[in-house]
Amino acid sequence: MKSIVCVSPDWGIGDGAGMLYHIPGDLKYFREQTAGHTVIMGRKTLDSLPGGKPLPKRRNIVLTRDRGFARPGVYLCHDLMELQELLASLGEKDPFVIGGGEIYKMLLPWCDSCLVTRVEQPPEIRPSVFFPNLEKEGWTEKSQTPPLEENGLRYRFTEWVRE
């Protein structure tokens, strides 16, 4: 399992309703990495997507504790056990965790790598949702691209692995 995320310098990822930055190059990278794969997200992240709709060209799994919740085009799981069972029944060994904060934190122990887009500038919006600080969690940055620039923002694509 792999996480994919875009973070501010202090590992912020959102304000609870949306993301902190708009970086088309990062959205393209996200699409390229996850296209054709299974993505796992929390119900709040699903609600933050355009129209609250699942991502096209990917198998979407959504975690919610609400047994009355329904949304077309998604697999629903109500706890970790159900998620484990669903992944096994689908034969899915390499899904992407795509957020948000609660789900990244919960599934980090299951991840063997994290694709982290690191933005150098602090966001204009104050973050209230965070990704775990991988440096403090004992992960290592295995690779990073040279800095890219877009919309006045400098960012790098990095890959992190456990030490």
Ligand X SMILES: NC(=O)c1ccc[n+]([C@@H]2O[C@H](COP(=O)([O-])OP(=O)(O)OC[C@H]3O[C@@H](n4cnc5c(N)ncnc54)[C@H](OP(=O)(O)O)[C@@H]3O)[C@@H](O)[C@H]2O)c1
Binding residues (CB under 6 A) for ligand X: these are: 5-6, 13-19, 41-45, 48, 63-66, 69, 78-80, 98-103, 106, 129
Query: Is the separation of the CB atoms in 15 and 127 below 8 Å?
Result: yes
CB of 68 or CB of 147, closer to ligand X? 68
CB of 90 or CB of 163, closer to ligand X? 90
CB of 125 or CB of 163, closer to ligand X? 125
What is the nearest approach in angstroms of ligand X to the Cβ of residue 79? 5
**What are the residues whose beta carbons fall under 8 Å from the beta carbon of 14, sequence distance 6 or more?**
20, 48, 99, 100, 101, 127, 128, 129
DSSP bridge pairs for 161: 113, 140
**What are the residues whose beta carbons fall under 8 Å from the beta carbon of 66, sequence distance 6 or more?**
43, 78
User: What is the token pair recorded at 41?
Assistant: 């997200």
What is the nearest approach in angstroms of ligand X to the Cβ of residue 73? 17
CB of 95 or CB of 100, closer to ligand X? 100
**What are the residues whose beta carbons fall under 8 Å from the beta carbon of 149, sequence distance 6 or more?**
none
What is the nearest approach in angstroms of ligand X to the Cβ of residue 20? 6
What is the nearest approach in angstroms of ligand X to the Cβ of residue 84? 12
